[in-house]
Amino acid sequence: MDYITVAMAKGRTADRALVLLEKAGIHFSEFHDESRKLVVFDDENSIKLIFVKAVDVPTYVEKGAADIGIIGKDTILEDPRDVYELLDLGIGKCKLAVAGFPGTQITGSQFLTVASKYPNAAKDYFDKKGIRTELIKLNGSIELAPLIGMSDVIVDIVETGSTLKENGLVVLETIRDISARLIVNKASYATKTARIQQFIADLKVALEVHS
Protein backbone atom coordinates (compact mmCIF):
# COMPACT_ATOMS: atom_id res chain seq x y z
CA MET A 1 0.00 0.00 0.00
CA ASP A 2 1.20 3.52 -0.80
CA TYR A 3 2.15 5.63 2.16
CA ILE A 4 0.01 8.63 3.02
CA THR A 5 2.27 11.57 3.74
CA VAL A 6 1.34 14.07 6.44
CA ALA A 7 3.25 17.34 6.75
CA MET A 8 3.42 19.54 9.82
CA ALA A 9 5.79 21.90 11.59
CA LYS A 10 7.52 20.93 14.80
CA GLY A 11 6.34 22.81 17.84
CA ARG A 12 3.50 23.01 20.29
CA THR A 13 0.76 22.53 17.71
CA ALA A 14 2.51 19.44 16.32
CA ASP A 15 2.78 17.96 19.83
CA ARG A 16 -0.94 18.40 20.36
CA ALA A 17 -1.72 17.11 16.88
CA LEU A 18 0.35 14.01 17.62
CA VAL A 19 -1.70 13.41 20.76
CA LEU A 20 -4.84 13.60 18.61
CA LEU A 21 -3.37 11.24 16.04
CA GLU A 22 -2.41 8.83 18.82
CA LYS A 23 -6.05 8.79 19.94
CA ALA A 24 -7.01 8.08 16.35
CA GLY A 25 -4.77 5.02 16.45
CA ILE A 26 -1.90 6.52 14.49
CA HIS A 27 1.40 6.11 16.24
CA PHE A 28 4.89 7.15 15.17
CA SER A 29 7.14 5.03 17.34
CA GLU A 30 10.38 6.73 16.28
CA PHE A 31 9.14 10.13 17.32
CA HIS A 32 10.13 11.66 20.64
CA ASP A 33 10.70 15.23 21.78
CA GLU A 34 14.46 15.36 21.30
CA SER A 35 14.45 13.53 18.00
CA ARG A 36 15.85 15.47 15.10
CA LYS A 37 14.42 13.11 12.53
CA LEU A 38 12.54 14.88 9.75
CA VAL A 39 10.68 11.78 8.58
CA VAL A 40 8.97 9.23 10.83
CA PHE A 41 6.71 6.32 9.95
CA ASP A 42 3.66 4.51 11.19
CA ASP A 43 4.21 1.27 9.28
CA GLU A 44 1.06 -0.36 10.56
CA ASN A 45 -1.19 2.29 8.99
CA SER A 46 1.25 3.15 6.15
CA ILE A 47 1.47 6.77 7.19
CA LYS A 48 4.57 8.89 6.84
CA LEU A 49 5.00 12.07 8.83
CA ILE A 50 7.35 14.77 7.61
CA PHE A 51 8.42 17.85 9.54
CA VAL A 52 8.77 21.03 7.51
CA LYS A 53 8.80 24.74 8.26
CA ALA A 54 5.30 25.99 9.06
CA VAL A 55 5.03 28.42 6.15
CA ASP A 56 6.02 25.59 3.77
CA VAL A 57 3.26 23.18 4.81
CA PRO A 58 0.69 24.54 2.30
CA THR A 59 3.31 24.40 -0.47
CA TYR A 60 4.10 20.74 0.22
CA VAL A 61 0.42 19.90 0.15
CA GLU A 62 -0.46 21.93 -2.94
CA LYS A 63 2.39 20.35 -4.90
CA GLY A 64 1.41 16.88 -3.74
CA ALA A 65 4.69 16.25 -1.92
CA ALA A 66 2.43 15.65 1.08
CA ASP A 67 -1.13 14.35 0.89
CA ILE A 68 -2.24 15.99 4.10
CA GLY A 69 -1.02 18.99 6.08
CA ILE A 70 -1.73 20.24 9.56
CA ILE A 71 -1.24 23.98 9.75
CA GLY A 72 -2.48 27.12 11.46
CA LYS A 73 -5.21 29.14 9.76
CA ASP A 74 -2.90 32.18 9.97
CA THR A 75 -0.51 30.59 7.49
CA ILE A 76 -3.38 29.63 5.16
CA LEU A 77 -4.75 33.20 5.24
CA GLU A 78 -1.37 34.70 4.46
CA ASP A 79 -0.64 32.37 1.57
CA PRO A 80 -3.84 30.82 0.18
CA ARG A 81 -3.25 27.66 -1.84
CA ASP A 82 -5.37 25.49 -4.06
CA VAL A 83 -6.04 22.73 -1.52
CA TYR A 84 -8.99 21.31 0.39
CA GLU A 85 -9.43 22.56 3.94
CA LEU A 86 -11.46 19.82 5.52
CA LEU A 87 -11.22 19.98 9.28
CA ASP A 88 -10.78 22.37 12.17
CA LEU A 89 -8.61 20.56 14.69
CA GLY A 90 -9.45 23.03 17.44
CA ILE A 91 -5.84 23.12 18.64
CA GLY A 92 -3.29 25.93 18.51
CA LYS A 93 -6.08 28.40 19.21
CA CYS A 94 -5.26 32.09 19.17
CA LYS A 95 -6.39 35.32 17.52
CA LEU A 96 -5.12 37.35 14.64
CA ALA A 97 -5.27 40.91 15.89
CA VAL A 98 -4.26 44.49 15.31
CA ALA A 99 -2.18 45.76 18.21
CA GLY A 100 -0.55 49.03 19.12
CA PHE A 101 -0.25 51.62 21.87
CA PRO A 102 -3.45 52.13 23.85
CA GLY A 103 -5.66 54.71 22.20
CA THR A 104 -4.09 54.47 18.74
CA GLN A 105 -6.66 55.67 16.21
CA ILE A 106 -7.25 53.49 13.17
CA THR A 107 -9.00 55.64 10.59
CA GLY A 108 -9.04 55.97 6.85
CA SER A 109 -7.90 59.57 6.81
CA GLN A 110 -4.21 58.88 6.39
CA PHE A 111 -1.85 56.04 5.60
CA LEU A 112 -1.49 53.57 8.41
CA THR A 113 1.90 51.92 8.73
CA VAL A 114 1.49 48.26 9.64
CA ALA A 115 4.27 45.85 10.55
CA SER A 116 3.42 42.18 10.32
CA LYS A 117 4.53 38.65 9.65
CA TYR A 118 1.28 38.44 7.70
CA PRO A 119 1.36 41.37 5.25
CA ASN A 120 -1.16 39.83 2.81
CA ALA A 121 -3.69 38.97 5.48
CA ALA A 122 -3.21 42.39 7.09
CA LYS A 123 -3.61 44.26 3.81
CA ASP A 124 -6.71 42.24 2.99
CA TYR A 125 -8.25 43.19 6.34
CA PHE A 126 -7.54 46.91 6.08
CA ASP A 127 -8.52 47.06 2.38
CA LYS A 128 -11.94 45.69 3.25
CA LYS A 129 -12.32 48.42 5.85
CA GLY A 130 -11.23 51.05 3.36
CA ILE A 131 -8.11 51.96 5.30
CA ARG A 132 -5.04 52.72 3.26
CA THR A 133 -1.92 51.08 4.54
CA GLU A 134 1.78 50.82 4.11
CA LEU A 135 2.88 47.29 4.95
CA ILE A 136 6.23 46.32 6.45
CA LYS A 137 6.99 42.62 6.37
CA LEU A 138 8.88 41.42 9.43
CA ASN A 139 9.84 37.90 10.40
CA GLY A 140 10.00 38.18 14.17
CA SER A 141 9.93 40.52 17.20
CA ILE A 142 7.00 42.30 15.59
CA GLU A 143 6.19 44.11 18.87
CA LEU A 144 9.34 46.12 18.46
CA ALA A 145 8.06 48.00 15.40
CA PRO A 146 5.72 50.48 17.18
CA LEU A 147 8.18 50.88 20.08
CA ILE A 148 10.88 52.26 17.85
CA GLY A 149 8.42 54.22 15.73
CA MET A 150 8.74 52.11 12.60
CA SER A 151 5.00 51.41 12.40
CA ASP A 152 1.74 52.73 13.84
CA VAL A 153 0.34 49.28 14.55
CA ILE A 154 1.19 45.61 14.14
CA VAL A 155 -0.87 42.65 12.97
CA ASP A 156 0.11 39.44 14.71
CA ILE A 157 -1.25 36.34 16.36
CA VAL A 158 -2.06 36.82 20.02
CA GLU A 159 -2.44 33.93 22.41
CA THR A 160 -2.35 35.28 25.97
CA GLY A 161 -1.37 38.85 25.21
CA SER A 162 1.51 38.78 27.69
CA THR A 163 4.20 39.72 25.15
CA LEU A 164 2.10 42.69 24.09
CA LYS A 165 1.55 43.74 27.69
CA GLU A 166 5.22 43.59 28.60
CA ASN A 167 5.93 45.92 25.70
CA GLY A 168 3.16 48.33 26.58
CA LEU A 169 0.91 47.36 23.67
CA VAL A 170 -2.74 46.31 23.60
CA VAL A 171 -5.06 44.57 21.18
CA LEU A 172 -6.89 47.31 19.24
CA GLU A 173 -9.03 45.13 17.00
CA THR A 174 -9.48 41.39 16.68
CA ILE A 175 -9.38 40.28 13.06
CA ARG A 176 -10.40 36.66 13.53
CA ASP A 177 -9.95 33.44 15.47
CA ILE A 178 -7.16 31.12 14.44
CA SER A 179 -6.79 27.39 14.95
CA ALA A 180 -5.03 24.48 13.28
CA ARG A 181 -6.63 23.10 10.13
CA LEU A 182 -6.29 19.91 8.17
CA ILE A 183 -5.58 20.55 4.52
CA VAL A 184 -5.54 17.96 1.73
CA ASN A 185 -4.06 17.84 -1.75
CA LYS A 186 -6.83 17.74 -4.35
CA ALA A 187 -5.28 14.98 -6.43
CA SER A 188 -4.68 12.83 -3.36
CA TYR A 189 -8.30 13.30 -2.36
CA ALA A 190 -9.32 12.01 -5.80
CA THR A 191 -6.92 9.09 -6.07
CA LYS A 192 -6.80 8.00 -2.40
CA THR A 193 -10.33 8.98 -1.42
CA ALA A 194 -11.16 6.08 0.89
CA ARG A 195 -7.95 6.27 2.91
CA ILE A 196 -8.04 10.02 3.35
CA GLN A 197 -11.69 10.03 4.33
CA GLN A 198 -10.91 7.28 6.85
CA PHE A 199 -8.01 9.32 8.25
CA ILE A 200 -10.34 12.29 8.68
CA ALA A 201 -13.12 10.20 10.19
CA ASP A 202 -10.68 8.72 12.75
CA LEU A 203 -9.43 12.19 13.63
CA LYS A 204 -12.98 13.47 14.03
CA VAL A 205 -13.76 10.73 16.52
CA ALA A 206 -10.57 11.57 18.40
CA LEU A 207 -11.58 15.24 18.39
CA GLU A 208 -14.98 14.47 19.90
CA VAL A 209 -13.41 12.38 22.64
CA HIS A 210 -10.92 15.19 23.17
CA SER A 211 -13.54 17.86 23.68
Partner 1 sequence: MYEEMLLNDYENDEQIIETISKRFTTYGYKRIKTSAFEHYDLYSKVKSAINQNEMIKVIDSTGEVLVLRPDVTIPVTQQLAQRTGKLSSELRYYYVQEVFRQPFERSEKIASTQAGIEYFCESSPEADAEVIALACHTMKDLGFNDIKIEIGHAAFFNELVQDLPITSQQVGQLKTLIQAKNIVEIGPFLENFQIANEVKQAIEQIPFLYGNPSDVYDRANGNALTKKMQDTLDYIMDVYRILKMYGLEQYIVIDLGLINHMDYYSDVIFQGYVGRFGKPVLMGGRYDQLGNEFGATLPAIGFACEIESLAKASEKSKRPSTTIDVKIVYEDVQVGQAIQIANELRGRDYRVLSFPKRKEQSDYQQSDYVIQLTETDSSLHYNEELISFSSMKELLDLLASVKGAL
Is residue 62 a contact point for partner 1 (CB under 8 A)?
Answer: yes
What φ, ψ does residue 180 adopt, rounded to 5°? -80, 140
Considering only residues 141-200, where is the footprint of partner 1 by CB under 8 A? 181, 185-188, 190-191, 193
Of the candidates 63, 129, 137, 165, which one interacts with partner 1 according to CB under 8 A? 63
Binding mask 14-53 for partner 1 (x = CB under 8 A): ----------------------------------------
Cα 124 to its chain centre, rounded Å, is 17
Is residue 96 a contact point for partner 1 (CB under 8 A)?
Answer: no
Residue closer to partner 1 by CB (options 144, 200) is 200
Strands (E) in the chain, as ranges, are 4-8, 39-42, 47-51, 68-72, 84-88, 94-100, 112-116, 133-137, 153-158, 170-178, 180-184
Least Å from the CB of residue 39 to partner 1? 17
Nearest residue to 59 via CA among 74, 76, 72: 76
> Which window, 77-85, 102-110, 144-152, 157-165, contacts partner 1 (CB under 8 A)?
77-85
| CA–CA gap between residue 32 and residue 38 (Å, rounded) | 12
| CA–CA gap between residue 1 and residue 173 (Å, rounded) | 49
Is residue 88 a contact point for partner 1 (CB under 8 A)?
Answer: yes
> Which window, 19-27, 58-66, 134-142, 164-172, contacts partner 1 (CB under 8 A)?
58-66
CA distances for 144 relative to 30, 167, 200, angstroms: 39, 8, 40
What φ, ψ does residue 144 adopt, rounded to 5°? -65, -30
Q: What is the DSSP string of 170-183?
A: EEEEEEEEE-EEEE
Least Å from the CB of residue 63 to partner 1? 5
Of the candidates 27, 41, 56, 85, which one interacts with partner 1 according to CB under 8 A? 85
Contact residues toward partner 1 (CB under 8 A) are 2, 62-65, 80, 82-88, 181, 185-188, 190-191, 193
